[in-house]
Structure 1
Amino acid sequence: MGTLNEDYLLVAAIDFGTEYSGYAFSTRDDYSRDPLKVAANTWGAGNLMSLKTSTCVLFDKNKKFHSFGFEAEDYYSGYALDDEHHDYYFFRRFKMKLFDRMQLKRKFMLEDEMGKKMSAMDVFSACIKYLKDHLMKRCQRNLPNTIDSHIRWVLTVPAIWNDTSKQFMREAANKAGIIDEQLMIALEPEAASIYCQHLPMTRLGITGGGFVPFAPGSKYLVFDAGGGTVDITVHEIQSSGSLKELYKANGRNWGGTYIDIAFRNLLADIVGNDVMDDFQATQMMDYIDLFREFEVKKRNFKNDMTERINFKVPIALNDDFKQKRGKNIKDHIKTKPQYDQKVNWIGDKLRMESGVAKGLYEGACDSVARHLKSLFSEGQVKDVQTILMVGGFSESPILQDIIRKAMPDKNIIKPADPGLAVLTGAVIYGHNPSVIHAGRYTYGVKAKVYPEAKKIADYDKDVLCADIFDIFGHLML
């Protein structure tokens, strides 16, 4: 790994998310005047406008990159509508594969929506390259002389990933054209924490006097809830203002996609999983539109809502159901006691009682609440009084309410725009890497003799030797 470039003009951060991805940047001059002056791109898909785009990527039959984000969804949907999608490779929500695989191999394969396989490295690097190139084009509109060497790049990763997964992302970035001398890896909770330190108290939702969450010596738990994972770690502010990790990052796959999966499971429970599978495979445009509609609706779900929720459901789903079952969903749903008077299907509308809608959050939110209670019973975390909620899923009023009820004695801080905390913080970190206290180092000695029994061949058929490093201890520098 080379020395980080010091002769840069701007910092660009890429947040490669499970559900949504985006980028942000700022020049050196902007940072010196206002660290929070960060530019991001606005992406659109129908009624859905966002500072991030969908983490979906499309390749043609030759495995050549075609499109990314909302654009990839729309293209693939159109091809599916014309029954011309079979030779294309369409990937969505694949980032979690790096979390799921305990023994990650550089050459492992990803399965697309139709079960066809491509190299994971090719898929990840193509996505990073798209975001990199998109950002470069935007920068060059305002700063025509901008070239690659002028940029310091920051790529964010979940803190709960192991070192192998983080290294995989670094290599994917290298393949996308970002060399090590221009690349920094930022842990998502740390980036979010940096962002919040720069916000005025009012934008953190703090209006009373006396409580200063980021004073030197203060400790707080960072609750970073993204699309795929919930990252939880504990930070302490050093006298220099830098961050130090006090408690090793932990968490699970309890992010916002958990709610989407619960919604899909609800539909599958009504119409049958076979119908949902066929609907997804043959009516991809309608399937994507259905979940875009759900995304817009769920952002306004609250614990105190009482009105029924209306969802527009494509007619094609009822047509598919009728063809398989010989009746309409409207009539069929009346035969399922668990949905009696709670869920109605009228034409192209699904009407759902608020209790059913809120119930979609139970699995993820209850797991999070139990996990937090367990953490706060441990010695290293017991005296921590503040929870900092960041990440896109932290925008959910239902999640916020459940955490407040589960942790009534804690100070809950949520910035006004938690979904952008990681991106903005990553840009600030790129300008000032010293804001993160140096990491953990392991020290010991390695064996001079490599026993045959401990030699292994890795995925590239290189011969390695396991278990030859005797650990004396760890240093936090």
Structure 2
Amino acid sequence: MKSFGKKARDQYAKLPKTEIPGYTFFEHVKKEVQRTENVDRNHKIQAMNGKQYFLIDVIAHILYYLKEKTLKEFRDSRLYNSPLKAPDIDWVITVPAIWKARGKRMMREAGYMAGFCDPHVTMGNLEEATGRVQPPPKEELNPEKLSLALEPESAAIWCKKMIDISPGGNDVKNYLIVDCGGGTVDIATHGIIGGHVHELAPSAGNMSGGTTINERFRDFLSHFVDDPGFVQYFSVSDVVERSRRKSEINKIVYTIFEDQKMYFGSAEIEEDSFVVEFCPNFARSFSQLMEGKSVKNVTIEDEGTQMRLSHAKMTEFFQPTIDKIGKLICDHIHTNNLASKIDTIFWVGGFGECQYLRNELEAAINRDFCKGEKKIRYSYPPEPKLAIVRGALAFRYDPSVIQQRKADATYGIACRIPFDENKHPIEYCVDDENDCSRKWCKHIFSTFIERNESICTNEVFVANYSPVRSSQRVSRLTFYSAPHTNVWFTTDRGVTELAKMDINIAGYGRDRDIEVVFDVTHTEIQVCARDKQSKNEYKIVVDFLFSEQ
């Protein structure tokens, strides 16, 4: 791996055409995890050159690169008498609140592949996706050395520290954290009770991060040159030339326009002073067409090499994103009856530094919720884009800082219970294998916890189940989740299969109890099972990344 982030984009854009085939470039890798609802180990991502790679492999290489950079920093600092190995360090990976169990599990397994928990792991070159990737690990080495932390929750922990040391901090009782990043916007809602932090509502979020503004400009630009999506511009047979053109568009949209976006967002500027300079090849391809265009609030200058956007036009790019974020916040407050409780809102994240964004959102929130004497304070910590990483470290140091959480979904397991013709659909009725007079109802959703239910730290849910057949040697436990309450069957609307777990069971008969312990009090769902007859406990790796195929 050569480089990461903005540096990677700039370096790739500057490569001579003859060197492009030697590099592979990926854009928005993290967003791909959220975009794919049923992401699994075999999910592929396309590089700029059109080649396909396994997403989990790409993420693992990124994490390996960051891990090695970190270890080098420690070595160069000479703070330790002997070189540190990866398992000597407690690692924390932050994830958006809207990520489901699959996305979180992918980050953990990628962390294992990157060697966060095993000092002997090395990674070679990234290979193209062929066949299928490896199955889940049968056992996890030093899993406690790797933690996942929710990004808005991490930011909330850091803001709590700022509250504790700030004048007037005692006035903050219930607060909302709005984490505006490049890809996602996440919300956490916390209250301080007896000096401890309690979650007041499940985290919420959407995909309305800052890059949606860049994507809107990209869409506008492609229509401006009469080539929606740049389909024609990219349809060249030469793979290297196609990669160069894609890189060029990326530079215009995510580097050159990004600078103007940040300039616009930093203050209220009323003049037409937002200039996007085109890359030379793009200008040569479209300058003649663009110079003949007449579009309100847009001017083509300098022989088609730059585009001047008015303040009104920049507002058009921003407004849909602001509206979606505003709706997310207001819906979250309304849905969870928080209007009378929230006294402070903190803005964090890189996009959260945008002054224009904050001004517009604060005005919208005040219109909706600040009636009469009701006032909401708005604040952001120093360097708000670092609030997440600082809070994540504080969380790893003391996870008990969060005393109570709210369940973000309804969780349960599939099972069978005696059939009741007055309650159960007839098509779910199955015969008992040993007693044909006995009937069972399949597809039952046995609930562990319902959405929005309060869960104390380290509180777990225990339930007992028996095998379906007397001769059964392996019991497959299938876990499900739903975004709503009152779930009765695994076939109900909105219910999705979450994970599978196979355990060996001893003996014979149906009176062999399996005890299942289900823990949702942490960032990741944890499950273990115990065969009560043999007393064996199975800490089997639960497969959240099983393939639907």
Please give the TM-score of this superposition, normalised by the length of structure 2.
Answer: 0.64
1:365 Cα offset (Å): 0.5
Residues 1:250 and 2:204 aligned together: yes
1:223-271, Cα deviation, whole Å (9 max, x unpaired): 1111111111211224243x32221111110001111101111211211
User: Is 1:166–2:166 an aligned residue pair?
Assistant: no
CA distance in 2, matches of 1:431, 1:401: 35
Which AA in structure 1 matches 2:221? L
- Please state if 1:139 is matched with 2:74: yes
Q: Deviations over 1:356-405 (max 9, x none)?
A: 01211111111111222222223442222321111111111121011111
Kindly tell me: are residues 289 and 108 of structure 1, through their superposed partners in 2, closer, same or farther at Cα, counting changes over 3 Å?
A: closer
List structure 1 segments (4+ residues) > 6 angstroms apart after TM superposition: 454-459, 469-477
Deviation by residue 1:402-426 (Cα, 9 ceiling, x = unmatched):
1111112322122231111101111
**Structure of larger gyration radius:** 2
Shift of 1:436: 2.6
Shift in Å at residue 78 of structure 1? Answer: 4.5
Alpha-carbon contact 2:178-2:348 (below 8 Å) kept? yes
2:89 maps to a residue whose letter is: I
Partner of 2:155: 192
Aligned equivalent of 2:289, options 328, 335, 340: 328
User: Which of the numbers 448, 472, 477 marks the counterpart of 2:466?
Assistant: 448
> Hey, what's the Cα distance between the residues in 2 that align with 1:400 and 1:297?
17
Q: Find the aligned partners of 1:213 and 1:473 in 2 and give their Cα distance.
A: 37
Correspondence for 1:403: 361
* Residue aligned with 2:256, SS: helix
- The corresponding residue for 1:282 is 244
Is residue 181–residue 352 contact of structure 2 (8 Å, CA) maintained in 1? Answer: yes
C-alpha displacement at 1:111, in angstroms? 1.6
Judging changes above 3 Å, is the alpha-carbon distance between structure 1 residues 406 and 274 closer, same or farther for their aligned structure 2 residues? closer
CA contact (8 A) 1:107 1:119 kept: yes
Q: What is the distance in 2 between the residues matched to 1:422 and 1:349? A: 37
- Cα deviation 1:1-40 (Å, max 9, x = unaligned): xxxxxxxxxxxxxxxxxxxxxxxxxxxxxxxxxxxxxxxx
| CA distance in structure 2 between the partners assigned to 1:341 and 1:159 by the alignment | 38
Q: Which amino acid aligns with 2:223?
A: D
- Residues in 2 aligned to 1:457 and 1:88: alpha-carbon distance in whole angstroms: 42
Kindly provide the CA deviation profile for residues 107-141 of structure 1, in whole angstroms up to 9, marking residues without a partner as x. 22112224321111110010011111111111211
1:338-417 correspondence to structure 2 within 5 Å: 339-347=295-303, 348-382=305-339, 383-408=341-366, 409=370, 410-417=376-383
Q: Which amino acid aligns with 2:43?
A: F
Contact kept, 8 Å, 1:92 with 1:112, in 2: the verdict is yes
2:284 maps to amino acid: D
Distance across 2 between alignment mates of 1:374 and 1:226: 19
Task: State the alpha-carbon separation in 1 of the partners of residues 178 and 501 from structure 2.
Answer: 40
Q: Size of the alignment, in residue pairs? A: 390
Q: Distance between the aligned counterparts of 1:471 and 1:147, measured in 2?
A: 38
CA distance in 2, matches of 1:476, 1:186: 12
Q: How far apart in 2 are the matches of 1:66 and 1:457? A: 41
Q: Which has the higher contact order (CA 8 A, sep 6+)?
A: 1
Is structure 2 residue 278 aligned with structure 1 residue 313?
A: yes
Within 5 Å, give how 1:113-124 maps onto structure 2. 113-124=48-59
| Alpha-carbon contact 2:300-2:307 (below 8 Å) kept | yes
When normalised by structure 1's length, the TM-score is: 0.72
**Structure 1: stretches of 5+ with no match in the other structure:** 1-64
Residues of 1 paired with 2:383 and 2:49: CA distance?
36
Q: Identity of paired residues, percent?
A: 25
The DSSP-based 3-state class of the residue aligned with 2:201 is strand
**Counterparts of 1:98-247 in structure 2 under 5 Å?**
98-142=33-77, 143=79, 145-148=82-85, 149-179=87-117, 180-199=143-162, 210=168, 212=170, 214=172, 218-241=173-196, 243-247=197-201
1:295 aligns with 2:251: no
Task: Please name the residue that 1:420 is paired with.
Answer: 386
Q: Compared with structure 1, are the counterparts of its residues 150 and 314 closer, same or farther at alpha carbon in structure 2 (3 Å cutoff)?
A: same
Distance 2:177 2:149 in 1: 15
State the AA in 2 paired with 1:328.
Answer: L
**Pick aligned residue for 1:76 from 12, 23, 40:** 12
Contact 2:163 2:170 in 1 (8 A): no
Contact 2:25 2:47 in 1 (8 A): yes
| Residues 129, 120 of structure 1: alpha-carbon distance in 2 compared, 3 angstrom cutoff | same
Q: Aligned AA for 2:50?
A: G
The amino acid across from 2:178 in the alignment is F
Deviation at 1:464, TM superposition (A): 5.8
Equivalent residue runs for 1:263-278 within 5 Å: 263-273=217-227, 276-277=230-231, 278=233
Q: 1:92 maps to which residue?
A: 27
Q: Any unmatched runs of 5+ in structure 2?
A: 118-142, 235-241, 371-375, 406-454, 480-496, 504-513, 523-549
The letter of the residue matching 1:158 is P
Whole-angstrom distance in 2 between the partners of 1:261 and 1:437: 39
By how many angstroms is 1:194 displaced? 1.6
